[in-house]
Amino acid sequence: MSETYLLRGASPLGAKPTDVLVRDGHVAQVGSRPSAKGATVVDAAGLVLLPGLVDLHTHLREPGREDSETVETGTVAASVGGYTAVCAMPNTLPAADTAGVVEQVYRLGQQFGRCDVQPIGAVTVGRGGTKLAELGAMADSAAGVRMFSDDGDCVSDAVLMRRALEYVKAFDGVIAQHAQEPRLTEGAQMNEGALSGVLGLRGWPAVAEEAIIARDVLLAEHVGSRVHICHVSTAGSVEILRWAKSRGYPVTAEVTPHHLLLTEDLVASYDPIYKVNPPLRTGEDVEALRSALADGTIDAVATDHAPHPVEDKECEWLAAAMGMTGLETALPVVQQAMVDTGLLDWVGVADRMSVRPARIGRLTGHGHGVEVGAPANLTLYDPAASWEVDPAESVSRSRNTPFAGRTLPGRVVATFLRGRATVLDGKPQ
Ligand SMILES: [Zn+2]
């Protein structure tokens, strides 16, 4: 089924307004007065047109935890947030550690997905951290896995990490590391510092993240294989990445929206909505993360969308699950933290939320410019809007957003997946 849309007066990546014609799944024309017989006209005056966003780090929870999220509900949330592709983390039940499970997730994405779903494979069997999973079989499967991660847990064994890097090198794969030295973070509840002492919660030292990143950038360089660092959260991690990149090491990194906006002070409420892995850090860390994203030391924004059912979050701090939802609020949070502060323009946002994530994940058909002939994976965004986040309005199956009650700028007006509207007037189609 072919749909034709004329986006009238849109600003591609914030440039001067023009008309964009979407036809047969592609950007057919850019410029004034395109011939648009039969097109659905969308008034895009004042709206920024971005390449469809790409998330390197989404927990879709299926198979196994469909009470939290499914491929269908998670990708509806993604489309409402402006995403046209998400990479699904393998910490499902069972873990996505075989060709069979990654193919299952891939097919669920094709069947029910409101955006493209690219499964990430586990690095070790059952994410157990002791035996390498069938990386080659997952790469050769219909899912064509290129990114592997034990996310939720760190690949802490240096020998195993080295072997994984060596293995994926053959097919241009990448290991996405959840950098958390497990012995240094046993029982950890929040960022280690003065506040953790005051609150009586066990501290989660920055060095537990930084030590693993330091080790792994050295291993990646030694092996000559790509490592990607998930959810970087400390100023020290930024310094190590900056050093590694200055030497040309094969490392990329991501930061979450929540680590760009929120600080550990929120934990003083003991509200588990703010319990997350890695933990919220200090204002200085937030400043360092923003600067690093602005100068490209950190390549990408990734949501770490981690839906949890109410009973796992609305309980006492120690018992609560770690994680926050993020797909529906990511772009507004990035606008507030990065654009409204003058640190990034819309070209920069497109680069960090679409172009580079697509390149890191080796996702073809995503992360291109808004240009004639490109696949029409597009997001139409109103930066002048503002809204109060109401968890009840979320289309995710879970409600654990840390931004509830906050006023955020900007709203996604429309999302197009290969020319088909998945969102129009802010509503899933
Ligand atoms: Zn993680």
Question: Domain containing 15 — which CATH number?
Answer: 2.30.40.10
Domain membership flag for residue 218: yes
How many A from CA of 96 to the centre of ligand 1? 15
Q: Kindly state whether residues 225 and 157 are assigned to the same domain.
A: yes
Domain membership flag for residue 79: yes
Strands 53-58 and 83-88: parallel
Pair of tokens at residue 322: 């770690």
The answer to whether 425 is a known ligand-binding residue is: no
Last residue of a domain, one of 315, 336, 360: 360
Domain CATH for 195? 3.20.20.140
Nearest CA-CA partner of 358 in 374, 335, 381:
374
> What span, in angstroms and rounded, lies between the C-alpha atoms of 7 and 20?
5
279-297 residue pLDDT tens: 999 999 999 999 999 999 9
DSSP 26-55: EEEEESSS---TTPEEEE-TTPEEEEPEEE
Average pLDDT (167-187) is: 98
Q: Is the pLDDT of residue 151 over 60?
A: yes
Active site residue 304: yes
Last residue of a domain, one of 360, 385, 402: 360
The answer to whether 304 is a known ligand-binding residue is: yes
Q: Kindly state whether residues 306 and 378 are assigned to the same domain.
A: no
Nearest CA-CA partner of 95 in 56, 135, 138, 124:
124
Q: Kindly state whether residues 160 and 30 are assigned to the same domain.
A: no
> What span, in angstroms and rounded, lies between the C-alpha atoms of 302 and 298?
11
Ligand 1 (ion): residues with CB under 5 Å are 151, 178, 230
Domain membership flag for residue 369: no
Domain membership flag for residue 366: no
Q: Kindly state whether residues 15 and 131 are assigned to the same domain.
A: no
408-422 residue pLDDT tens: 999 999 999 999 999
Average pLDDT (147-155) is: 98
Q: Kindly state whether residues 422 and 299 are assigned to the same domain.
A: no
Q: Kindly state whether residues 41 and 61 are assigned to the same domain.
A: no
The answer to whether 150 is a known ligand-binding residue is: no
Q: Kindly state whether residues 279 and 407 are assigned to the same domain.
A: no
Pair of tokens at residue 141: 């499967």
- Residue type for 127, please? R
Q: Kindly state whether residues 62 and 43 are assigned to the same domain.
A: no
Supply the pLDDT for residue 37: 83
Tokens 């490209």 sit on residue: 296
Q: Kindly state whether residues 136 and 234 are assigned to the same domain.
A: yes
The answer to whether 157 is a known ligand-binding residue is: no
The answer to whether 59 is a known ligand-binding residue is: yes
Last residue of a domain, one of 306, 337, 360: 360
Q: Kindly state whether residues 126 and 238 are assigned to the same domain.
A: yes
Domain membership flag for residue 181: yes
Report CA-CA distances (Å) from 80 to 1, 107, 270. Answer: 22, 21, 30
How many A from CA of 412 to the centre of ligand 1? 26
SS3 309: coil
403 lies in which domain range? 5-48+374-428
Q: Kindly state whether residues 247 and 110 are assigned to the same domain.
A: yes
Q: Angle at Cα 166 formed by Cα 164 and Cα 168, nearest 5°? A: 70
Supply the pLDDT for residue 2: 67
How many A from CA of 261 to the centre of ligand 1? 18
Strands 226-229 and 251-255: parallel
Domain membership flag for residue 298: yes
How many A from CA of 151 to the centre of ligand 1? 4
Q: Kindly state whether residues 41 and 56 are assigned to the same domain.
A: no
Domain membership flag for residue 368: no
Q: How many domains does the chain contain in total?
A: 2
30-76 residue pLDDT tens: 997 767 788 999 999 999 999 999 999 999 999 999 999 999 999 99
> What span, in angstroms and rounded, lies between the C-alpha atoms of 64 and 4?
38
pTM for the whole structure: 0.98
Average pLDDT (16-40) is: 90
Considering 55, 97, 304, 312, which one is annotated as catalytic? 304
Domain membership flag for residue 143: yes
